[in-house]
Amino acid sequence: MKRQYKFLAIVILLLTGFSFFTSDVRAQYYFYDKNYYDNPILFEIGGSVGAMNCLTDLGGKPGLGKQFIKDLTLGTTNPAFGGFISATYQNKFALRFEGTIGSLEAKDETLKGVTDIAQGRYWRNLSFQTNIREFSLMAEIHPLFILTNYSTLEKEVPRFSPYLLGGIGFFNFNPRAKNDAGVLVDLHPLRLEGQGFPEYPDVKPYKLNQTNIPLGMGVKFEVSPLINLRAEIVHRMLFTDYLDDVSGSYIDPSAFYSNLDPSDWENALTMYDRQLADNKYWGVGGKRGNPDQKDSYFTFNLKVSLLFRSAVNE
């Protein structure tokens, strides 16, 4: 969890600096035909397009795995899309409901050619991919407006507003990987680390529908009284280390025969151990993943939204 707190600290520092930078940005006027178009509560609806990536046990960069942003592999970034509705009170606080879809992937193959401790991950030769479907409820805090205390009917307000956001999310995932024939196989039913097997009572099954904690930062720019543009990055703290279906140790493969149907144990025997033939030095009980740090994923989004204002007489 340490890298999650590092991310939050970086967000706060960046946002503080950006608040000073934007405090003198040119003001925006909301008057038209002698009417003032601003209200204590502002409703907004919009969509987003962006990128999604993850930090899991698989792939990464040379050195120790899952060491925050330095372990990020940009080549496994995938598109993400979303839609949201929000209500903002006096430009200071907002409550937002959002839906996001995208996909994640990681593979040890990206470490080909490394010669340090990460070489073991390359030899492990595991991979995964999954679609992500997420709904979240998040709160926004706009410190520029809080610190300057603009009134609801102020004749000019800044166009820029940096903000922090956080909340709770609910997401669905389903890790899959390709078998020797190149066919994608669902990994969850195979229980590759003995999840739920009586031989491994400490290894519990994981659910494909889970909660997360989104934390992030963004900046909002009001193009006009009717249109907002936003750029933001949101990091999801997870309560599972099985986003990639990898967390613990290699189990005794005989457990597949006694706990799975024949159609599943055949796939399990193929998928649980993908070590490269010349470097098979992990046996039963050997390290397959690192359960000490949870997996995580994040998005960078560009958003456009429509604002709903009603006239307030000047």
User: Is there a contact between 11 and 19 (Cβ–Cβ < 8 Å)?
Assistant: no
By CB neighbour count within 10 A (0-12 exposed, 13-18 middle, 19+ buried), where does 121 fall?
buried
Whole-angstrom distance, CA of residue 129 vs CA of residue 22: 40
pLDDT tens profile 287-302: 899 898 899 999 999 9
Q: Report pLDDT for 101.
A: 98
- How far is CA 109 from each of CA 76, 105, 125, rounded to the nearest angstrom? 11, 12, 6
Tokens of 34: 């002698």
- Closest among 91, 88, 232 to 164, alpha carbons compared: 232
The backbone torsions φ and ψ at residue 46, rounded to the nearest 5 degrees and listed phi first, read -165, -175
DSSP 288-306: ---TTS--EEEEEEEEEEE
pLDDT tens profile 120-142: 888 999 999 999 999 999 999 99
- Closest among 197, 175, 172 to 289, alpha carbons compared: 175
Q: Report pLDDT for 306.
A: 95
Structural domain 2-313, CATH architecture: Beta Barrel (2.40)
Q: How does strand 209-224 pair with strand 227-238?
A: antiparallel
Question: Could you tell me the residue ranges of all domains in the chain?
Answer: 2-313
Tokens of 280: 């098979």
